């Protein structure tokens, strides 16, 4: 009865008499009323809920009066109609007036925030789990191994490269000690250089193609910086821009790119006229792409291109920046003409399926896959500790080297040195006998006496240079070191003869 239609109609009538207009229907008003009777009590409590506190108060008071009238009308009804003198057995009497609400009953902000936070956390966890299960992008070395490939290097993100494609700062001889100890990217490049050196000592590659699955994975920047890293050891290096569709190598080295590879292949320029020296490192040369041709794939697959690679490989270690493997066939064509291909994978960029497809493109043409380089790995998270450890490790190593240098004036550097050889014998370090017929003689001079010397200075003697000791004292110093019992291993990299010192036992 408290929420009946007739009670609502009585309430609407009373509100209208009080001057209210545009009232909702009686059924709507009935839905705004809640009636409850406490246990073991003869009281009835009515609660009115409205969007405005004054209207809620007015509605509660009017509804009590309407309910009392409706109860009296029901009790006094007889068969012949209402009896004005009838006294009902039950009467509803208003006891108190409805109070003006001082605060909204809904919404409960604190409760809503707690429910919303819990629901948001739950939905976030569900979304993260679904995203992780559905995400097939390559983010780790483990993902590379799922495709059946091996990662030979991992390079972290470097803020100096994120601002734009560029070559890391270098000097005429080597990077500064601050770079060696503070920059994880430079150390990762040197680690990659060492891995390439030990990849195949019997048949070392002399022409390496660096490509990727899709555009935007940093292959060009990596090609340029890897070339600089290898050239800093004294090895002759030539960087060839084989991306004839979007060439950027000349721009990375801040060199003109109007003439280059296409002009040589078309017979419109001589190789010596378009090869450009990179100023900070004299033994590093750049062959720009030149004018963009209408038929890049046919030009790169020509016999002229293979002949050019033969000529370049006789002079230096060759790095070719090739186009991505999936959009065009140029990268696969260059990989077949080279000694092997390195696939650059930007962490979180290509999917496992794209990497697998790129690998199939190389296998289809019979190209040699040297491995995968995981590039631009975030330094925050699981990988941050790895690269942070390297920075601390090399910093401590150089500090110890300074102490050793002050005591002995000599500190041995475990860094492999790349140098060129061609058709000459390798002198033995133990007895002076020949060690082979395919390497150039090495001249090693150890700097003694300076307090700033932290590494051995090893000079690479190239076949086009005269390899003569500077003095008899230098020769005596070299043989004396060998006689003192220091053992060296011969390491070959792309035609490079390297001597790696080992600790005495």
Q: Would you list the domain boundaries of the chain?
A: 5-82, 141-395, 409-501
For residue 428, pLDDT over 50 is answered with: no
SS3 content of the chain, % helix, strand, coil (to 5): 40, 15, 45
From residue 505, alpha-carbon distances to 51, 404, 486, 487, 502 in Å are: 90, 18, 10, 10, 9
Look at residue 176 and give its three-state secondary structure: coil
pLDDT of residue 169: 59
Burial class (CB in 10 A: 0-12, 13-18, 19+), 333: buried
With CA atoms as reference, report the closest residue to 287 among 262, 314, 313, 323: 262
Question: Is the dihedral angle over the CA atoms 321, 325, 328, 333 positive or is it negative?
Answer: positive
Cα separation, 84 vs 124, whole angstroms: 69
> Which has more confidence, 419 or 127?
127
Contact of 302 with 254, CB cutoff 8 Å: no
Cα separation, 239 vs 48, whole angstroms: 84
Domain 141-395: which CATH number of 3.20.20.70, 2.30.30.90, 3.40.50.300, 3.10.20.30: 3.40.50.300
Cα separation, 373 vs 239, whole angstroms: 18
In DSSP terms, 377 is beta-bridged to 156
What is the per-residue pLDDT across 103-162, written as a single tens digit (0 to 9) for each? 777 677 788 889 999 999 999 999 988 887 888 899 889 889 888 899 999 998 876 665
Cα separation, 464 vs 418, whole angstroms: 16
Q: Are strands 276-278 and 33-36 parallel, antiparallel or unpaired?
A: unpaired
Look at residue 311 and give its three-state secondary structure: helix
Look at residue 359 and give its three-state secondary structure: helix
From residue 320, alpha-carbon distances to 44, 227, 247, 342, 421 in Å are: 91, 10, 12, 10, 21
Dihedral class, residue 491 (left if φ above 0, else alpha if ψ from -120 to 50, else beta): beta
> Which has more confidence, 467 or 143?
143
Look at residue 282 and give its three-state secondary structure: strand
The structure's pTM equals 0.57
What is the per-residue pLDDT across 158-178, written as a single tens digit (0 to 9) for each? 766 655 556 665 533 344 444
Q: What is the mean pLDDT of residues 258-278?
A: 94
> Which has more confidence, 146 or 381?
146
Which residues, at least 6 apart from 363, have a Cβ–Cβ distance to it below 8 Å? Answer: 369
> Which has more confidence, 355 or 81?
355
In DSSP terms, 499 is beta-bridged to 490
Cα separation, 293 vs 244, whole angstroms: 7
């Amino acid at each position: 009865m408290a929420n009946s239609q007739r009670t609502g109609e009585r309430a609407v009538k009373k509100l209208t008499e009080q001057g209210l207009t545009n009232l909702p229907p009686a059924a709507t008003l009935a839905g705004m009323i809640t009636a409850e009777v406490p246990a073991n009590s003869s009281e009835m409590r009515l609660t009115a809920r409205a969007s405005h506190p004054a209207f809620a108060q007015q509605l509660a008071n009017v509804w009590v009066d309407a309910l009392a009238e409706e109860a009296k009308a029901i009790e006094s009804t007889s068969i012949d109609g209402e009896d004005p003198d009838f006294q009902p057995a039950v009467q509803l009497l208003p006891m108190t007036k409805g109070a003006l609400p001082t605060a909204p009953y809904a919404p409960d902000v604190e409760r809503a925030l707690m429910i919303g936070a819990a629901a948001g956390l739950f939905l976030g966890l569900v979304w993260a789990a679904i995203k992780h299960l559905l995400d097939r992008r390559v983010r780790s070395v483990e993902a590379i191994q799922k495709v059946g490939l091996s990662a030979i290097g991992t390079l972290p993100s470097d803020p100096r490269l994120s601002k734009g494609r560029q070559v890391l700062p270098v000097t005429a001889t080597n990077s500064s000690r601050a770079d060696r100890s503070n920059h994880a990217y430079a150390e990762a490049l040197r680690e990659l250089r060492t891995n390439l050196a030990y990849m195949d000592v019997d048949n070392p590659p002399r022409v390496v193609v660096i490509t990727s699955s899709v555009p935007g994975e940093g292959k060009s920047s990596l090609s340029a910086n890897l070339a600089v890293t290898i050239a800093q050891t004294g090895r002759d290096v030539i960087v060839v821009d084989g991306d004839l569709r979007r060439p950027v190598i000349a721009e990375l080295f801040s060199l003109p790119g109007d003439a280059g590879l296409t002009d040589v292949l078309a017979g419109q320029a001589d190789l010596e006229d378009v090869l450009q020296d990179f100023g900070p490192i004299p033994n590093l040369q750049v062959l720009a792409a030149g004018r963009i041709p209408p038929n890049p794939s046919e030009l790169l697959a020509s016999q002229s291109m293979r002949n050019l690679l033969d000529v370049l490989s006789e002079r230096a270690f060759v790095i070719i920046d090739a186009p991505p493997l999936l959009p065009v066939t140029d990268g696969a064509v260059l990989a077949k003409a080279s000694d092997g291909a390195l696939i650059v994978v930007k962490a979180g960029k290509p999917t496992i399926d794209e990497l697998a497809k790129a690998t199939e493109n190389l296998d289809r043409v019979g190209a040699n896959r040297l491995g995968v380089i995981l590039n631009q790995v975030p330094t925050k998270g699981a990988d941050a500790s790895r690269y942070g450890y390297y920075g601390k490790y090399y910093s401590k190593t150089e500090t110890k080297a300074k102490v050793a240098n002050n005591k002995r004036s000599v500190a041995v550097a475990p860094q492999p040195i790349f140098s060129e050889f061609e058709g000459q014998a390798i002198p033995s370090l133990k007895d002076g006998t020949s060690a082979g017929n395919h390497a150039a003689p090495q001249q090693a001079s150890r700097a003694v006496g300076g307090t700033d010397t932290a590494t051995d200075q090893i000079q690479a003697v190239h076949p086009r240079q005269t390899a003569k000791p500077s003095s008899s004292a230098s020769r005596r110093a070299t043989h004396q070191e060998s006689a003192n019992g220091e053992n060296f291993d011969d390491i070959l990299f792309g035609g490079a003869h390297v001597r790696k010192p080992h600790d005495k036992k």
